[in-house]
A and B are shown apart, each in its own frame.
Chain A
Amino acid sequence: MKKALALILALVMCLSLSAVAFADGETGSVYYLNFKPEADEAWQALAAAYTEETGVPVTVVTAASNTYEETLMSEISKSNPPTLFQVNGPVGLANWKDYCLDLADADITGELTSQDFALSEDGAVYGIGYVIESYGIIVNKTLLEQAGYTIDDIQSFDDLKKVAEDITARKDELGFAAFSSAGMDASSDWRFKTHLANLPIYFEYQDKGISSTDAIEGTYLDNYKNIFDLYINNSTCDPAELSGKTGDDSRNEFLAGEAVFFQNGSWEYTNLTADGAFTDDDLAMIPIYIGVGDEANQGLCTGCENYWCVNAEADEADIQATLDFLYWLVTSETGTSALANDMGFVIPFKGAVESPNVFVKQDSEMTAAGKTPVSWNFTTMPSEQWKNDLGSALTAYAAGTGDWDAVVSAFVDGWATEYQLANG
């Protein structure tokens, strides 16, 4: 009896310990660590569809927002690591390059509409861009008409300024403001410290004919100041109150018809049209004019910062399975329509299905009309720290507790120091 009990206890321990998976078969499997929580459901469905079609198991795990790097770091050192993950542009790639398989000869690379969407370094392709997004100023056309304008009236920074200031002057009479509040917390400050800051960087790169730099000059920082001033002085609330607003507040103001303009991107389409809040006819996206370059031909800011990478350290069979899965995603009807319709992605592949997203349609119309899209250069920003410092300086400036010089210093001097730290 006593020995038996001892044995049973010991056995239970051993059994649970030795329940080592014998099940790992020869056929490979795919494990995708997804970046976008809002697309999680669609990915799960797509994975199930693929498994049903081919019998290859596909697992999709989604990292909670702002924890992608942590989750990837913890998952990749496990015995069953992700075979497919994503990086954010060249700066993100630098951290994960050791894990990235060279995709130069992969089938999926041949499906890209342009090699610009491949993330390559020294002739090797490490990442494949999988979603093109655009951002600009989202306009509530109905409100704009109430104020006596149409979007054709806004063709340059001066026009924008005139309209915005006119709306502000008549704010009480109209019952709405020009811009939704520029929330400066982490859920919203990237709109200014990253996306808006892209414009002065873009124009400086254009002037010099470069695509990255170790030291930014800040030639167009005055224009950056002008547009930011315009945002904060013509907003739904006093500039000093901006630091008390979040991204959700900003969106809710726009949804409630309290503001005409809302700087954000094509990804907001589903949020804005959900529950019939807006129809396609109510919305438009216009370029962010900052008064530089050929404004008549400026397009939306369009680019890609999410790149798929294949884990080079996964099993051979898993790698093959992953490559097959990727090819299927961008060529099969199920794959492309799920990406376009369920996730709302515009994919840079030949087999892409047209997206129902009104902002995306506008982007292609503008490009077709000969306007030049502004490329995404914020992927070359030296580090997260740089963005955060710029964000803090902007917040202080908006609240009136800091001056613009601090922003300039965070922008220019910060760039040099952070670049040194990251690459030195």
Chain B
Amino acid sequence: MEKTIKKFWPVFVIPTFAAFCIGFIWPFLQGLYLSFCRFTTINKATWTGVQNYLFTFTDSSFLHAFWFTALFTIVSTVCINLAAFAIALALTRNIKGTNIFRSVFFMPNLIGGIVLGYIWNILLNCVLTLLGKPLLSLHAPYGFIGLVILMCWQQIGYMMIIYIAGIQSIPTDYLEAARIDGASERQILWKIKIPNVMPSITICLFLSLTNGFKLFDQNLALTGGDPSHSTEMLALNIYNTFYARSGPQWKGYGQAKAVLFCILVIVISLVQLRATRSKEVQQ
């Protein structure tokens, strides 16, 4: 059977593969090449070697963006997952209105990053004004907190759905057996529920980590990096280096930053994948 399928490769593979080449492989390779060049358009690129990378490591705004992003990712990952797990536990107790609650919490996921950013910008600025505090775009700590709140509002619902699916897939025999043996609610949580939803936890951690690192739209619309680039995350920093700075050297810098960013995300994903695998072996 495999042989017959093989003969049909043009039908099955070519459409996707051709588009994949146009939409990913070719731009990716070209981007890799351009990160070693000084260029304004693709046809006018001159090879400059590792100069772009050297600049990137001395660019304080990039380093700042890195630490800001890392801190943001850690804080938001912790907040999102704790809250999502707690809500998931509450929603698997068969209380009234579970379906409505679930729908409500999931709703923000359908709203795009740009729109979310504007909504929260208006809301948080109003709160800050009423409290007599400076606006989001004037005080970096508020910008940071604002981003975390926004991300929580958006992502908790998504992660909650995954946790609910995880908790519901625990065989009811386990739970019943534990109850008969007289285990307390807390023991059931730590000894049965958490170990059994480990796969969901790793997925959620993975998703919130990569979402945090790649965050762009929300960052752009909520603070736009204000005040003076101090709430700028990596993706926005790269975008600004690339498009907001004019001058032939900046595009090369931007592309080099993008390559480093890309490596960083891949490394994080690999580490995460490893962790997932080892957990799965244990079970």
Contacts and interface: CB of A to CB of B under 8 A. Distances in A.
A interacts with B: yes
Contacts of A70: 239, 243-244
Contact of B138 (A13, A72, A240, A243): A243
Interface string A366-397: 00000000000000000001001101100100
A70 B250 CA distance: 12
B11 A6 contact: yes
A389 B230 CA distance: 12
Nearest to B40: A77
A185 B10 contact: no
A399 B134 contact: yes
A186 interface: yes
B274 to A, nearest CB: 38
A69 B15 contact: no
Interface of A is mostly: helix
Interface residues of A, number: 32
Interface centre among A69, A185, A389 (most CB of B within 10 A): A185
A96 interface: yes
Interface stretch (B23-31, B125-133, B201-209): B125-133
B137 interface: yes
B8 interface: yes
* Chain B residues touching A, range: 20 to 34
A280 B128 CA distance: 36
B227 interface: yes
Given A244-B133, A395-B138, A10 B14 contact: yes
Given A77-B41, A240-B132, A246-B135, A69 B243 contact: yes
B18 interface: yes
A5 B138 CA distance: 59
Contacts of B134: 184, 243-244, 395, 399
Contacts of B104: none
A244 B40 CA distance: 40
Contacts of B171: none
B19 interface: yes
Contact of A185 (B14, B18, B137, B244): B137
A73 B135 contact: no
B18 A13 contact: yes
Given A70-B244, A73-B246, A389-B228, A243 B10 contact: no
B110 to A, nearest CB: 24
A20 to B, nearest CB: 14
A244 B132 contact: yes
A342 interface: no
A360 B190 CA distance: 74
Interface in B1-23: 8, 10-11, 14-15, 18-19
Contacts of B11: 2, 5-6, 9
B60 to A, nearest CB: 12
B10 A6 contact: yes
B8 A2 contact: yes
Given A13-B15, A77-B40, A184 B247 contact: no
B226 interface: yes
A395 B227 CA distance: 11
Contacts of B245: 69
A74 interface: yes
Nearest to B230: A392
Contacts of B246: 69, 72-73, 95-96
Contacts of B242: 73
B227 A392 contact: yes
Interface string A76-108: 010000000000000000011010000000000
Interface in A35-67: 66
Interface in A330-356: none
A53 to B, nearest CB: 34
B138 A385 contact: no
Nearest to A422: B247
A418 interface: no
Interface string B225-268: 01110000000000100111111100000000000000000000
Nearest to A81: B41
Contacts of A5: 11
Contact of A241 (B15, B41, B42, B132): B132
Nearest to A189: B138
A235 to B, nearest CB: 15
A66 B226 CA distance: 13
Contacts of B227: 388, 391-392
Contact of B226 (A6, A74, A186, A385): A186
B243 A73 contact: yes
A74 B243 contact: yes
Nearest to B223: A186
B15 A9 contact: yes
A241 B130 CA distance: 10
Interface string B95-113: 0000000000000000000
Contacts of B14: 9-10, 13
Contacts of A395: 134, 138
Nearest to B137: A185
A13 B13 CA distance: 13
A186 B137 contact: yes
A244 B129 contact: yes
For the complex of A and B, list the 9 residue pairs with the smallest distance between their C-beta atoms, beginning with the closest. Answer: A95-B246, A243-B134, A70-B243, A244-B129, A6-B11, A388-B228, A77-B41, A73-B243, A185-B135
Interface of A: 2, 5-6, 9-10, 13, 66, 69-70, 72-74, 77, 95-96, 98, 184-186, 240-241, 243-246, 385, 388-389, 391-392, 395, 399
Given A241-B132, A244-B135, 11 more contacts: A5-B11, A9-B14, A10-B10, A13-B14, A69-B243, A70-B239, A70-B244, A77-B40, A186-B224, A243-B133, A243-B138
Interface of B: 8, 10-11, 14-15, 18-19, 40-42, 125, 128-129, 132-135, 137-139, 224, 226-228, 239, 242-248
29 contacts: A5-B11, A6-B8, A9-B11, A9-B15, A10-B10, A13-B14, A13-B15, A69-B245, A70-B239, A73-B242, A95-B247, A98-B40, A185-B135, A185-B226, A186-B226, A240-B132, A241-B129, A243-B134, A244-B128, A246-B135, A385-B228, A388-B228, A389-B228, A392-B138, A392-B227, A392-B228, A395-B134, A395-B138, A399-B134
